[in-house]
Structure 1
Amino acid sequence: MVAADAVVSVEGRRVKLTNLGKVLYPEVGFTKAEVIDYYTRIAPVLLPHVAGRPMTVRRYPNGVDGKSFFEKNVPSHAPEWVRTVRVETPGSSRGAEFADFVVVEDLATLVWLANLAALELHVPQWTVGARGGRRSPDLVVFDLDPGEPATVVECCRVACRVREVLVADGLAPVVKTSGSKGLQVYAAVSVSSPERTSEYAKGVARRLAREWPREVVWRMAKAERTGRVLIDWSQNNPAKTTVAPYSLRARARPSVSTPVSWEEVEGCRVVEDLVFLADEVRERVGSGGDLFAPGKPSRLPR
C-alpha cells in the first residue's frame, strides 16, 4: 500500500509528495508514485540534457485521460530553492512579455515537478548562463512526424537519410524516439547567430523533400503529408521546445522519449520495435548507458 502523502529529503531538500496512490496511466495502473520513482531513477542521464534549459512542462493532474495544461511560469507555491529564469516571450498567445521558467538542474527539482504530475518535460535547443542570459542554440533538431498511414518505420528510413547529410556536413547526429509517433534527430552545433540552426535545418528538409518527394515533405500542410514523413525544421525556432530525452509521454501507457542506437533505427521493421516504456528504459540505461551524448559541437556549414 502506497502512502497518500509523504515528506522526503532529496539531496538535502525537503519535498512534500501528495496523492502518491493516484493512478495517472489508467490503462496499466501506473501511479504518481511510480512516475516519481521513474524520474528519480532516470535522473542521472536526464538531468545533463535539461541543465540550463528553461523548461515548459505539461501537467496531467487527473491522469492522461483527464485535462492537461502546459505551464511555463513557475507556480507561486514553488520552494525557494527551485532555480528560475526570466525569459522574454514575444508573440505569446497570452500577450505576456516574459515568463519565469523553471530550470531543472538537480534531483529535488525534478521530484518536485513529478509530484505536480508534470509528466512531460519540454526544453528549447538553447541554454541560459549563470545569470540568466540567453545563449545561441547549441543543438539542431529534425523532428520527423509521420502522416498516416506512415509510421515510425518510415521515419527510420528518413532519419537515416538525414544522418547521411549531417555526417557529410561534419556533424555527429544522435537519435531518439519522440515517445509518441515519430523520431527526432539532433546534433550538437556551434553557431554565430540564433537563426542559423533554423536556416540549416530548413535547407536539409527542402533538399530531402526534393530528392525523395514520395517519402518526405518539408511543408506543414496536412494535405501534403499523407503517407509521408514531415521533416519539421521549424522546431529550431528559439521560441519552440521539443520533448526532453527520457521524458515520459502522456500516452495510454507510460512511454518514454527514448534515445536509440542507429543500429536500432536501421533495423526497425514494425512500430513496436521502437516503443519503450518506463521500466524498459531504466533497464536500457542500466545495461547500455546514455545513447544520447551529443558529443563535441560542430560548426554548421554555409
Structure 2
Amino acid sequence: MNKMSLIKKVLTYLFCSLLTSVTYAQTVITIATDETSGRPWIWEAGKIFNENNPGVELELYKLVEKKLDIKFKFLRLPWVRAKLYLQSGKIDGMFPTSFKTEREYWAFYPRNKPFDNIAWSNFKKSPEFKMDNNLVKVLGELSHSKKTRNIGYYLYKLKGSKIDWDGHKFLNVSKFDEIGVTTGYSINSKLADMGLKLSKTINPMQSLQMLMLGRITGIVNMETIIDTNISLHKEQFSKIIKSPIIIQENSYYLAFSESFMMRNSNTAEKIWQGIEDIKKTAEFSIILQKYSTLTESN
C-alpha cells in the first residue's frame, strides 16, 4: 500500500467517525428551576440536586430523557433570574411554571395544537400582537394533561394570630400588616390586587424567619415549599401553622423559551407528550410511592 492510499484510508475513517458521532449525539436541552426545596417534587434546596433522591419531577424528566434519547442539563437559579434567562433565550426551558397571560409571550406551554413558528412570526408582526385574547387563536388552548403537577398556595401564620383566609377574602388584616411572598411567584399580583401589602423576598426561608420575628403578619406561598421548610426545621418554626383553606391551586408545566420553540418545536412537543405518557405508567407510580415512603420517614 503506497503512502497516498494510506492517507486516504485514514481520512475516510476519520470522516466516517465524525459522521457517526454527529448522528448519534444526543440533543442537550438546558432547563432551570429555583433553589428551593418543595418535597416530594424537588427534594433538597441548593445549587445542586440530591443524586440519589432528586425529587419526583427530576425523576420524571430522567424518564423523558430515556424515552426520547435526549439529555437535560439542569440549572438551579433564583426564580427571577431564571425568568429573565428564559425571556432572553439563555436557557431553553424552566420548571415548574404556572400559566399567566403576561408570561405567554415569552414562556411557551403545551397546547392542544402543535406550535407553528411561521404563524407565530406573522402574528408578532401584526397589530394584534400583545392583545391577550388573540393568543389562543394562534397558540391554541392549554393542554392540562401535559402538566407536571398541581400546587396549592396557603396562608401561614403564627399560632394565636387572628389573620385568616375564609375561601374568598382575608380576615383581620389591617393596612399596616405585611404578607410575606417570594419575588416572581404567580400569586403575587392577585394578592396585590386584593389590596394586601406585600413583603417580597427571594427565598421563602427569609419569609419564615421574618414571620417568627414578627416583622410580617403572615406568608402566602406554595405548600410544598413552606411545608418542607417547616418539617426540616421543626423546632425553629414550631409556632407557625397553616390556615386550612386553600387560596389558589395552580397547574405547573415545563415551559420553553421562544428561541427554543422556533428552533425545536417538534422536540418540545415530544417532551410534553412524553410527560403525559410517562405519568400514566407503572414506572412513574413506583417513583411516587418511593417519595411517599421517604416523606413519611422524614
| TM-score, normalising length: structure 2 | 0.24
Give the greater-gyration-radius structure (CA).
2
Richer in helix (by share): 2
| TM-score, normalising length: structure 1 | 0.24
